[in-house]
């Protein structure tokens, strides 16, 4: 760029003139034509910039004629001098212009020194809102090297600051209710606990849950559910003291810090809140909704001085109330049984994850045989987890915890991996694997199956996916879609533990499954119970009506085999034919075991 013009900027004070050169190419239009001071001022005004010239020696400040933009909220008579300007600066400002200019540590080598800052200007009456200002300028030194003058532009940036403040607020507060969010509530609880020793007063943490929010959401929609949350929040807030702190703990829960509150008063407060919300319907814009609350409370510092522990205890206590339908409030009390339960969950979860990482998860194969011939039809893959000494950890210790903590999907992925490799290695073998409800909901499992056998129908045709009855009936539409995808891969689908849930004639008709495995609890006691035998016979007849194959589980005695063959069960599985083994069994050996039942004739057809 070249020096194209010496611009003398005069804002009304003849002695306040800058001889600084302005290096500019962009102002040339056609022939060389330069903007005069008035044109520059007009352009600045049109985009909301307020130009100023500041004589640092006298302290006087001159402005462009659009200084009135801030007159509504700022006493502009005061900003004509540096002293007056400082008087309208908000006390909470981190930076100010005088500090940035007059006390700058930088040096002016002839081109001036840039500065840029943001600050808030407030009216002296402290009532009017004030303005956030973005200030960009350049100061120039005198002969002594000290700042002598400055010029720049001020721009109102209230909207931007409002957005930034709103974003900062959302970091600590819930958008829907305006209450502190869980993170902020935890911080307040920590500070409250720290102050207990000094105040010598008890504090309580109350966790309140809306019992039927899921039903409201499903019945009326999310908008009504959100409105209910907001109205419940207002109703709770209206009953709180000024010293109490309320926050949005999670989707349907509110946390309340009750200051100076004994255990007796905790109960009184909780019951008052529960009654206040439950006795009258919540009137939304479109609906009148009945709402009920449950609450769990923890006395502080009686049980802990750690905020995280207190919140956890409150959650546990609230869950106790929800599990006990006749109670809607409870105060936390320590429980050795509960502590052991939690400790066991942690230990088992750690063991499962370690076993997966260290490849200590394996499968064993239990045969499923033709009832008519005793020949092996397929093998069910049963999961086994070994400890570091190579001993099997009983599934009863692992599987319930894995299901509660959503770890079964990881185990199911490992079983699928092993089973698919076995099907590749043994092209004549059929296998069945179990999957949990969480795995069905996890699309990655099905994606893995599709990627592995999508173009290998000969493998899919030898794989049966076993799903428990209760899982299949959880969401019929989704289940039907899931089953169809498995069939598209060539896989068979079996209902496991059939009869243990709530299967109806209609559901069995709707589900396009290939096999039902009758729950072993009916088989194991069939010798001693005519009712169980009748149930097995009925389930078999029902399945056959829909051309569905049947499997009897937990077959342990020769008498059971004889009875099940008479009933017409298709396949048999249980310890009578072998427990799970590391390797596939020899069919001839199995035939010898089955030989004692060969005199039993199959029921005639027709």
**In this predicted model, which residue has the larger pLDDT, 523 or 500?**
523
- Rounded to an integer, the average pLDDT of 516-533 is 92
User: Does 183 have pLDDT greater than 90?
Assistant: no
Q: Is 162 helix (H, G, I), strand (E, B) or coil?
A: helix
Q: What percent of the chain has pLDDT over 70?
A: 83
pLDDT, residue 513, reads: 92
**pLDDT tens digit string along 126-176?**
555 667 888 899 999 999 888 999 999 888 877 655 555 555 555 677 878
CATH of region 173-334, choose from 3.60.15.10, 3.30.70.1400, 1.10.3720.10, 3.30.70.270: 3.30.70.270
pLDDT, residue 597, reads: 56
- Please, what is the average pLDDT of the chain? 82
- CA torsion sign for 573, 579, 583, 585 is negative
pLDDT, residue 265, reads: 87
pLDDT, residue 304, reads: 82
Residue 488 · residue 520 · CB < 8 Å: no
Residue 474 · residue 440 · CB < 8 Å: no
User: Does 449 have pLDDT greater than 90?
Assistant: yes
**With bands split at pLDDT 50, 70 and 90, how would you rate the model's confidence at 485?**
very high
pLDDT, residue 22, reads: 40
The architecture in CATH of the region 3-163 reads 2-Layer Sandwich (3.30)
pLDDT, residue 24, reads: 41
Residue 381 · residue 363 · CB < 8 Å: yes
pLDDT, residue 34, reads: 63
DSSP secondary structure string, 406-433?
T-HHHHHHHHHHHHHHHHHH-TT--EEE
- Rounded to an integer, the average pLDDT of 84-111 is 80
> Can you tell me the distance from the alpha carbon of 456 to that of 393, in angstroms, rounded to the nearest whole number?
35
In 94-238, beta strands by DSSP E: 113-121, 131-141, 147-156, 203-210
Q: Which helix (H) or strand (E) holds 588?
A: helix 587-594
Beta-carbon contacts of 569 under 8 Å, excluding residues fewer than 6 positions away, are 371, 518, 536, 540, 550, 551, 552
**φ, ψ (nearest 5 deg) of residue 264:** -65, -40
**With bands split at pLDDT 50, 70 and 90, how would you rate the model's confidence at 33?**
low
433 dihedral zone (left: phi>0; alpha: psi -120 to 50; beta): beta
CATH 3.20.20.450: does it fit domain 361-595? yes
**pLDDT tens digit string along 248-301?**
998 899 999 998 888 788 888 988 989 888 888 888 888 888 888 999 999 988
- Rounded to an integer, the average pLDDT of 12-19 is 39
- Rounded to an integer, the average pLDDT of 505-533 is 87
pTM recorded for the entire structure: 0.59
Indicate the domain borders of the chain: 3-163, 173-334, 361-595
Beta-carbon contacts of 498 under 8 Å, excluding residues fewer than 6 positions away, are 469, 516, 517, 518, 519, 539
**pLDDT tens digit string along 204-228?**
999 999 988 888 888 888 888 888 9
**With bands split at pLDDT 50, 70 and 90, how would you rate the model's confidence at 505?**
low
Full 3-state SS string of 77-119: HHHHEHHHHHHCECCCCCCCHHHHHHCCCCCCCCCCEEEEEEE
- Rounded to an integer, the average pLDDT of 494-503 is 78
- Rounded to an integer, the average pLDDT of 368-377 is 91
pLDDT, residue 13, reads: 38
pLDDT, residue 350, reads: 92
pLDDT, residue 435, reads: 94
**pLDDT tens digit string along 249-263?**
988 999 999 988 887
């Amino acid at each position: 760029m070249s020096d194209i013009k010496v611009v003398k900027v005069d804002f009304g004070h003849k002695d306040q003139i800058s001889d600084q050169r302005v290096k500019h190419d962009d102002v040339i239009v056609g022939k060389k034509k330069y903007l005069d001071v008035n044109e520059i001022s007009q352009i600045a005004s049109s985009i909301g910039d307020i130009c100023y010239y500041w004589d640092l020696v006298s302290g006087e400040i001159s402005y462009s004629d659009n200084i009135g933009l801030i007159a509504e909220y700022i006493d502009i008579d005061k900003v004509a001098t540096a002293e007056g300007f400082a008087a309208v600066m908000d006390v909470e400002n981190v930076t100010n212009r005088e500090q940035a200019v007059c006390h700058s540590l930088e040096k002016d080598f002839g081109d001036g020194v840039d500065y840029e800052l943001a600050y808030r200007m407030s009216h002296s009456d402290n009532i009017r809102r004030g303005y956030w200002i973005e200030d960009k300028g350049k100061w120039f030194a005198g002969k002594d090297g000290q700042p002598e003058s400055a010029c720049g532009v001020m721009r109102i940036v209230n909207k931007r600051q409002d957005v930034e403040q709103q974003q900062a607020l959302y970091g600590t507060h819930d958008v829907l209710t305006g209450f502190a969010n869980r993170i902020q509530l935890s911080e307040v609880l920590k500070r409250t606990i720290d102050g207990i020793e000094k105040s010598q007063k008890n504090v309580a943490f109350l966790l309140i849950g809306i019992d039927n929010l899921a039903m409201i959401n499903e019945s009326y929609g999310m908008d009504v559910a959100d409105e209910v949350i907001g109205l419940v929040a207002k109703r709770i807030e209206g009953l709180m003291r000024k010293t109490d702190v309320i926050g949005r703990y999670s989707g349907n829960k509110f946390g309340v810090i009750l200051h100076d509150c004994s255990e007796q008063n905790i109960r009184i407060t909780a019951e008052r809140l529960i009654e206040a919300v439950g006795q009258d319907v919540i009137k939304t814009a479109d609906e009148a909704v009945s709402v009920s609350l449950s609450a769990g409370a923890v006395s502080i510092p009686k049980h802990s001085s750690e905020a995280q522990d207190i919140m956890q205890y409150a959650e546990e206590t609230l869950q106790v109330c929800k599990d006990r339908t006749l109670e809607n409030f409870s105060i936390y009390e320590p429980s050795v049984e509960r502590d052991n339960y939690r400790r066991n969950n942690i230990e088992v979860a750690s063991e499962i994850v370690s076993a997966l990482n260290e490849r200590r998860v394996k499968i064993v194969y239990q045969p499923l045989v033709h009832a008519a011939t005793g020949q092996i039809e397929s093998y069910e893959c049963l999961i086994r987890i070994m400890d570091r000494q190579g001993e099997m950890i009983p599934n009863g210790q692992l599987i319930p915890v894995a299901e509660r903590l959503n770890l079964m999907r990881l185990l199911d992925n490992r079983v699928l991996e092993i089973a698919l490799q076995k099907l590749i290695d043994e092209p004549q073998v059929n296998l069945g694997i179990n999957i949990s409800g969480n795995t069905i909901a996890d699309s990655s499992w099905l994606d893995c199956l599709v990627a592995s056998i999508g173009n290998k129908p000969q493998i899919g045709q030898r794989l049966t996916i076993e799903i428990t009855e209760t899982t299949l009936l959880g969401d019929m539409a989704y289940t039907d879609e899931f089953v169809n995808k498995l069939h598209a891969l060539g896989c068979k689908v079996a209902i496991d533990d059939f009869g243990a849930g709530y299967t109806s004639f209609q559901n069995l008709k709707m589900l396009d499954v290939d096999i039902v495995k009758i729950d072993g609890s009916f088989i194991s006691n069939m010798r001693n119970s005519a009712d169980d035998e009748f149930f097995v016979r009925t389930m078999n007849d029902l399945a056959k009506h829909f051309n569905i194959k049947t499997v009897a589980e937990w077959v342990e005695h020769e008498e059971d085999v004889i009875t099940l063959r008479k009933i017409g069960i298709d396949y048999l599985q249980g310890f009578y034919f072998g427990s799970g083994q590391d390797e596939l069994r020899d069919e001839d050996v199995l035939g010898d075991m089955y030989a004692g039942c060969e005199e039993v004739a199959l029921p005639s057809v027709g």
